[in-house]
Chains A and B, each alone.
Chain A
Amino acid sequence: MFEGFDALLLARIQFAFTVSFHFIFPAFTIGLASYLAVLEGLWLWSGRAIFLDLFHYWIKIFALSFAMGVVSGIVLTYQFGTNWSVFSDRAGPIVGPLMAYEVLTAFFLEAGFLGIMLFGMTRVGKGLHFAATLAVAAGTLFSAFWIIAANSWMQTPVGHSISSSGQFVPTDWWQIIFNPSFPYRLIHTVLGAYLTTALVVGAVGAWHLLRAPNNAGARVMFSMAMGMVVSVAPIQAVMGDFHGLNTLKHQPTKIMAIEGHFESYPGGAPLYLFGFPDREAAAVRYPLAIPKLGSLILHHSFTAPIEGLKTVAREEWPPVGIVFWSFRVMVGLGLLMIALGGLALLARIRGRLYEWRILLLFAVAMGPAGFVAVIAGWVTTEVGRQPYTVYRLLRTAESASPLDAPAVASSLLAFIVVYFAVFSVGAWYILRLMSHAPAMAEPGLESGDVPIRTAGITPASAIDPDRTIGAKRI
Chain B
Amino acid sequence: MDLATLWAFILAFAIFTYVVLDGFDLGIGILFPFLQPGRHRDLAMNSVAPVWDGNETWLVLGGGALLAAFPLAYAIIMPALYAPIVAMLLALIFRGVAFEFRWRDVRHQKIWDFSFAGGSMLAAFAQGIALGALLQGVAVEGRQYSGGWWDWLSPFSVLTGVSLVAGYALLGSTWLIMKTEGSLQEHAFRHARISGIVTVICIGAVSLATPFLEEAYYEHWFAWPNVLFTAQVPLLVAIVTVALAVSLTRRYERLPFVLGLSLFALSMAGLGISIFPNIVPSRVSIDDAAAPRSSLLFMLIGAGILIPTILAYTAYSYWTFRGKVDHEGYH
Question: Which residues of A does B touch, CB under 8 Å?
Answer: 64, 67-68, 70-75, 77-78, 80-82, 85-86, 88-97, 99-105, 107-108, 111-112, 114-115, 163, 165-167, 169-171, 173, 401-404, 406-407, 411, 414-415, 418-419, 422, 425-426, 429, 449-460, 463-464, 467-468, 471, 474
Contact = CB atoms under 8 A, between A and B. Distances in A.
Contact of A70 (B51, B75, B76, B96): B96
A455 B54 contact: yes
A294 to B, nearest CB: 41
A80 B50 contact: no
Given A415-B86, A451-B325, 5 more contacts: A67-B97, A80-B78, A104-B302, A163-B292, A460-B106
A468 B99 CA distance: 17
A406 B85 CA distance: 16
B310 interface: yes
Contacts of B107: 471, 474
A111 B50 CA distance: 11
Given A82-B85, A407-B149, A451 B330 contact: yes
A89 B53 contact: no
B103 interface: yes
Contacts of A88: 67, 71, 74-75, 78
7 contacts: A96-B71, A103-B61, A111-B53, A173-B298, A403-B82, A426-B100, A451-B49
Q: How large is the interface on B (under 10, 10 to 19, 20 to 34, 35 or more residues)?
A: 35 or more
B56 A74 contact: yes
A391 to B, nearest CB: 19
B90 interface: yes
Contact of B298 (A74, A97, A402): A97
A415 B89 CA distance: 9
Given A422-B93, A455-B52, A402 B145 contact: yes
Contacts of B144: 85-86, 402
Interface string B60-103: 11011111110110111111001101100110111011011101
A429 B102 CA distance: 12
A114 B66 CA distance: 27
Contacts of B146: 402
Nearest to B50: A454
B313 interface: yes
A418 B118 CA distance: 14
Closest 4 CB pairs of A and B: A451-B329, A92-B71, A81-B78, A96-B68
Given A101-B299, A453-B329, A107 B145 contact: no
B292 A104 contact: no
A458 B100 contact: yes
B116 to A, nearest CB: 12
B97 A71 contact: yes
A166 B292 CA distance: 12
Contacts of A411: 82-83, 86
A103 B75 contact: no
Label chain A's interface by main secondary structure: helix
Contacts of A403: 79, 82, 149
B67 A80 contact: yes
Nearest to A176: B298
Contact of B75 (A71, A85, A99): A85
Given A111-B53, A115-B50, A404-B149, A71 B67 contact: no
B63 A81 contact: yes
Contact of A167 (B63, B71, B145): B71
B81 to A, nearest CB: 8
Contact of B60 (A74, A97, A419, A455): A74
Interface in B286-331: 291-292, 294-295, 298-299, 302-303, 306-307, 309-310, 313, 317, 325, 327-331
Interface string B130-148: 0000000000000111101
Given A77-B60, A100-B302, A403-B79, A451 B294 contact: no
A81 B77 contact: yes
Nearest to B331: A452
B57 interface: yes
B82 A75 contact: no
Contact of A401 (B52, B71, B145, B325): B145
Contact of A426 (B46, B63, B94, B97): B97
A108 B85 contact: no
A100 B60 CA distance: 9
Contact of A104 (B59, B307, B329): B307
A70 B75 CA distance: 24
A353 B292 CA distance: 59
B89 to A, nearest CB: 5
A451 B302 contact: no
A73 to B, nearest CB: 8
Contacts of A418: 90, 93-94
A467 B104 contact: yes
Contact of B292 (A80, A93, A112, A457): A93
A89 B46 CA distance: 41
B54 A95 contact: no
A92 B96 contact: no
A407 B83 contact: yes
A411 B87 CA distance: 9
A93 B100 contact: no
A82 B78 contact: yes
B149 A108 contact: no
A170 B295 CA distance: 7
A80 B93 CA distance: 18
B317 A115 contact: yes
Given A88-B71, A452-B330, A104 B310 contact: yes
A92 B75 contact: yes
Given A82-B85, A170-B292, A451-B328, A97 B103 contact: no
A78 B85 contact: yes
